[in-house]
Amino acid sequence: MTEHIQYSAEKDALILLDQRYLPNREDWFECKTTDDICFALVVMVVRGAPAIGVTAAYGCYLAGREVQGMDGDWKANLEKKLDQIHDARPTAVNLRWAVREMRRIWKEAGDVSLEELLSIWLERAKVIHVDDIKMCEMIGKFGGELMDDGDTIMTHCNAGALATAGYGTALGVVRGAIDQGKKVSVIANETRPFLQGARLTAYELHKDGIPVKVACDNACALLMKRGLVDKVVVGADRITANGDAVNKIGTFGVAVLAERFGIPFYVAAPQYTIDIETPTGDDVPIEDRDPKEVTHIGDHRIPPEGVEVYNLAFDPTPNELIAGIITEKGVLYPPYTESIKKLFEEE
């Protein structure tokens, strides 16, 4: 599954499968402007850290296209557009990585025209797009080796093809195990309030013929106690320098339960999801989203009017609960401060 993020040269636009409406219908969202990109990121037309990074890379190119039609200093106008993309969502480090990468390329290119810069940027965005799929395939290879034939793998949120350019991180591990000839199945936690597990993980696994069952988030303890879970594999929106992993809200609780029942808990993410500039998970800004995602199902309100809610989108899982961090370069093991430092020194 790689068709959900497409650059159309004919339309000079980024075409995204609108994940708000899956699995009931497959609509497409067309991005031609910076506002389009930021809207797609904020309302989660596209979501998942690697997919956000790929989208942001194309977004920088589209921002440049937009600046072509503006009055004034194109460089100053473009910087403002890049800031807008950079700040669209606070938690996923891949978004900032993509914008910084485009700025780095701009700086290295020197005194080029806007037209020349756009050509360079578009090619770089395409490389980032293709490379993300390759990285996920390598994550799948290394992670698949950690899975045993017959395993039932629990995952939280959607860290599959839809959350990346294709193949997936956590679900890449599932696909990697299957590619290695192992029979595995998945328990997809529903992942309230946006239901990424029930809607998206179940959608793509079912579409690919991979056995999957959806479970209520609050069923994790009972399922683990009954021996129905062999491994837990999740993705991450940011991994800090000490190995803490920031992922969809509820991941921390799943990790605590996995430790209680002696179940290995793995995090799967590309190296560029590791933020060595941020010391711990407690230092990561946690997105507080629209309360309506919690208070409403469709147009129907559940809590009484006037009742406030929490809608924190992510939580940090402490490194001591993580059995291994699966990257495209291999599996990192504790102590993570040392293994992460070594990974970047080798890079």
- Say which amino acid occupies 346: E
Q: Are strands 296-297 and 324-327 parallel, antiparallel or unpaired?
A: unpaired
- Looking at residue 298, its pLDDT comes to 84
Average model confidence (pLDDT) across the chain: 97
The CATH number of 5-136 is: 1.20.120.420
Under 8 Å between Cβ of 145 and 180: yes
- Looking at residue 193, its pLDDT comes to 95
**What is d(CA 161, CA 77) in angstroms, rounded to the nearest whole number?**
34
Class of domain 139-346 (CATH, top level): alpha beta
**What is d(CA 163, CA 179) in angstroms, rounded to the nearest whole number?**
20
What is the percent of the chain where pLDDT is above 90?
Answer: 96
- Please name the residue ranges forming H helices in 68-196: 74-86, 93-109, 114-144, 170-179, 196
Q: Domain extents for the chain?
A: 5-136, 139-346
- Looking at residue 324, its pLDDT comes to 98
- Looking at residue 347, its pLDDT comes to 73
Which pLDDT band, with edges at 50, 70 and 90, does 341 fall under? very high
- Looking at residue 69, its pLDDT comes to 79
Asked if the domains at 5-136 and 139-346 fall in one CATH topology, the answer is no
- The mean per-residue pLDDT over the stretch 220-225 comes to 98
- Looking at residue 203, its pLDDT comes to 97
**What is d(CA 342, CA 168) in angstroms, rounded to the nearest whole number?**
25
If one counts every other C-beta atom within 10 angstroms of the C-beta of residue 39, the result is 14
Show binding-site residues. 47-49, 89, 196, 247-248
71 pLDDT higher than 90 = no
DSSP-assigned letter for residue 273: G
Which pLDDT band, with edges at 50, 70 and 90, does 334 fall under? very high
The residues, any chain, with a CB within 8 Å of residue 300's CB and separated by 6 or more, are none
- Phi and psi angles of residue 114, each rounded to the nearest 5 degrees, phi first: -60, -40
Joined tokens for residue 201: 């993980």
Q: What is the pLDDT of residues 75-126, one digit of tens each?
A: 999 999 999 999 999 988 999 999 999 999 999 999 999 999 999 999 999 9
**What is d(CA 244, CA 284) in angstroms, rounded to the nearest whole number?**
10
- Looking at residue 72, its pLDDT comes to 86
If one counts every other C-beta atom within 10 angstroms of the C-beta of residue 144, the result is 21
284 pLDDT higher than 70 = yes
If one counts every other C-beta atom within 10 angstroms of the C-beta of residue 282, the result is 13
Q: What is the pLDDT of residues 131-170, one digit of tens each?
A: 999 999 999 999 999 999 999 999 999 999 999 999 999 9
- Phi and psi angles of residue 233, each rounded to the nearest 5 degrees, phi first: -135, 125
Under 8 Å between Cβ of 242 and 279: yes
Q: What is the pLDDT of residues 175-201, one digit of tens each?
A: 999 999 999 999 999 999 999 999 999
- The mean per-residue pLDDT over the stretch 40-51 comes to 96
- The mean per-residue pLDDT over the stretch 1-27 comes to 94
Closest CA to 106 of 60, 70, 148, 149: 60
- Looking at residue 1, its pLDDT comes to 67
Q: Which residues are catalytic?
A: 237
If residue 290 lies in a helix (H) or strand (E), which one and from where to where?
none
Show binding-site residues for substrate. 47-49, 89, 196, 247-248
Among the ranges given (17-26, 67-76, 241-250), the one the predictor scored with the smallest mean pLDDT: 67-76
**What is d(CA 269, CA 327) in angstroms, rounded to the nearest whole number?**
5
Helix axes 114-144, 49-67, angle to 10 degrees: 170
263 pLDDT higher than 90 = yes
- Say which amino acid occupies 118: L
| Cα distances (Å, whole numbers) of residue 77 to 25, 83, 96 | 37, 10, 19
Q: What is the pLDDT of residues 290-318, one digit of tens each?
A: 999 999 988 899 999 999 999 999 999 99
